Amino acid sequence: MEGNNSFFDSYKKKIAEESLPQEPSSAADSQKPSMKYEIESGFVKPEKKTSADVAPASKKTKRIITYAVVGAVVLLVIAIGVYFLMNRDIEVVDLTDWTENNAQLWARENGVILQIEEEYSDEVEAGKVISQSVPAGSKIKKGDFIKLTVSLGPDLSVTFPIPDFLSMTKEEVEAWAAENHMTKVRITTEYSDEVEAGKVIRYEINDERVVDEVRRDTPIYIVVSKGPEDETAATITVPNFKQMAISECYAFATENEIILTVEEQYDDYIPAGSVISQSVKPEEKVSKGTEIVLVVSKGKLITIPDFSGYSKEKATAVAGQLGIPVTITEKYSSRPVGAFISQSIKAGSEYNTGDILEICYSLGNEVVLQSFVGQTRDAIENWAKKLNALGAGIKIKVVSTPSNSPKGTIIHQDKSNTVVSVNTTINITVSSGKIVFVPDFVAPQGSGYDVAITREKAIAMCEELNIVPIFEKASKSGRLPGEIWSQSIAAGTEVTEGTKIVLKYVPTEKVKVPNFINMTKEEIMAGNYNRMFDIRFEMGTEYREGYAGKVYQQSLTANTYATSGSVITLTIGPDQPQFPPPADE
């Protein structure tokens, strides 16, 4: 216990020494012993900050939190928009009986991925869709897969037992060939004294692989009887067609009245247009009406390459080497600039003479947008139309507002002189024209033509304000012929240039022009002639005796007829002669 007391006495003394510089906050506090724990070495005591120091940091913290919250909300909105854009439902169409090429185009437009499987089919034409894994009418998302089964056409390797051709008729042979999808059955005819007309005389199979069965692509020549030959018919010696041009073959057939049937097939060695074989051997005798089948070379078989790995330049070169006419097209897409998009003829398919191959490449997904401010709305819409024809998907959103710029002029564009992505919406503000005030076209009832507004005056007023008058004839008692007595927009109304206004006027009529000569202005006005014509008085420069203050000339001839309200100018004589000033001496 004694040891403990000495430890506390020394600790209290140390605390007292350390607390000597500090002034107590109150008398009560000064009497209390201060307690303090020993702080480990290495610890730095933080400075005590005043409330004035803390306040700015608190405001800054609040601003940071506010910005963070706003940023998070914006990102959330963008994420939701992207989610709904990428996850919108796509309705699957019925792709069966479509060509694979058309199905691929539909898939690309809708962001769907096709998995192609091929199989032979006796019912569906080669290159067309047999079935699809997702039924038509189903809803799927972008990026989903659809498996398509595409027909390869009949399997030509399938074999059939050789029928008894010698017991068959021509029609039965044709029906057998069609039913079994035989591609190379050739039927010709010749006279026979032994075999009944329409029955098979003999057949020939030119395929060393054939034993008891024939493939669908096995060449089979069938000779059918035409019955006994007419002895009176002229006989024709069959030439060697292999040595003749195809045009010469046709000429020979026409001249000798034989039926020439030409069939084509590819051959790697015999030039296109040359005869490969003929159904009747050279030097044999046939009669008129005999059918001879010529097999003509289509030249070397050209298979369409897969151009997906070629640049535009290499694709053009490869197609040229193969003799395939090619057209290169470009359109905007999500793929990089210059990337392959599609080819119009499926890779691996047979090229047919006359076909033109179209290969499409990407223009990328960005377009350069210039400023159209100061140009017309048509300018930017025509620009967008040209790009959209290439798949850009640019949309122009228009807002109109009055301004001093001519109507239709673009006065603001939210994006300009920059690069924008495809499917961008460009917001523009277009001038609806300058604000003008509608004038008062209706004069007080009972006014003369010097005050009343006629069609001619109204046209001039509208041209000055750039508004468009639409005139309607309508009679109105108390109003002068040709006078405007109603307007569709009240006088003083603010409108933009180009606004249409309907003006009703009394139909005009023909009136007789009075003789105003020798009348004074007062007499004319007192006679209400200003309700017949729009009278303009002018002082003459020529003195005429007896016409001082009187009309001595009028612009419309007296006693003729003119439209009511027409302008007539009356010239009044001066009161005294006008003498020229004296010449300088």
- What pLDDT sits at residue 227? 86
- What pLDDT sits at residue 575? 84
- Pull the structure tokens for residue 251: 């000429």
Encoded amino acid at 284, one letter: E
For residues 179, 183, 184, 185, the Cα torsion angle rounded to the nearest 10 degrees is 20
- What pLDDT sits at residue 380? 96
Of the candidates 199, 217, 224, 223, which has an alpha carbon nearest to the alpha carbon of residue 160? 217
- Pull the structure tokens for residue 485: 């007595």
Q: How many residues are present in the chain?
A: 585
- Contact criterion met (CB below 8 Å) for 336 and 294: no
Encoded amino acid at 189, one letter: T
- Contact criterion met (CB below 8 Å) for 274 and 297: yes
Domains of the chain: 95-151 (3.30.10.20), 307-360 (3.30.10), 366-431 (3.30.10.20), 435-508 (3.30.10.20), 511-572 (3.30.10.20)
Task: Give the C-alpha separation, 207 to 162, whole Å.
Answer: 13
Strand pairing report for 534-539 and 259-265: unpaired
Task: Give the C-alpha separation, 96 to 150, whole Å.
Answer: 9
| Residue whose pair of structure tokens reads 């506090």 in the numeric block | 29
- What pLDDT sits at residue 33? 43
Task: Give the C-alpha separation, 76 to 80, whole Å.
Answer: 6
Encoded amino acid at 138, one letter: S
Predicted TM-score of the model (pTM): 0.43
Beta strands in 440-566 (DSSP E): 468-473, 484-487, 494-496, 500-505, 510-512, 534-539, 551-554, 561-563
Let me know the angle formed at the C-alpha of 262 by 256 and 267, rounded to the nearest 5 degrees.
135
Task: Give the C-alpha separation, 154 to 184, whole Å.
Answer: 13
Encoded amino acid at 38, one letter: E
Strand pairing report for 425-431 and 395-401: parallel
- Cα–chain-centroid distance for residue 37? 82
pLDDT truncated to tens, each residue of the chain (585 aa)? 444 455 445 545 555 555 444 444 444 444 444 444 444 444 445 455 444 444 454 555 666 677 677 777 777 767 666 555 555 789 999 999 999 989 999 998 899 999 999 999 999 999 999 999 999 999 999 889 999 999 999 999 899 999 988 999 999 999 999 999 999 898 988 888 889 889 998 988 877 777 788 889 888 989 999 888 766 566 889 999 999 999 999 999 999 989 999 998 888 889 988 999 999 999 998 888 889 999 999 888 889 999 999 999 999 999 999 889 999 999 999 899 999 999 999 999 988 888 999 999 999 999 999 999 999 999 999 999 999 999 999 999 999 998 888 889 999 999 999 999 999 999 999 998 889 999 999 999 989 998 999 999 999 999 999 999 999 999 999 999 999 999 999 999 999 888 999 999 999 889 999 999 999 999 999 998 998 999 999 999 888 888 999 999 999 999 999 998 899 999 999 987 655 555 554
- Contact criterion met (CB below 8 Å) for 418 and 387: no
- Contact criterion met (CB below 8 Å) for 430 and 400: yes
Q: Express the helix, strand and coil content of the chain in percent, nearest 5 each.
A: 25, 30, 45
- What pLDDT sits at residue 457? 92
DSSP 434-448: -EEEPP---PPTT--
Nearest 5°: phi and psi at 82?
-65, -40
**What distance separates the 2 farthest-apart alpha carbons in the chain?**
162
- Contact criterion met (CB below 8 Å) for 295 and 270: no
- What pLDDT sits at residue 82? 54
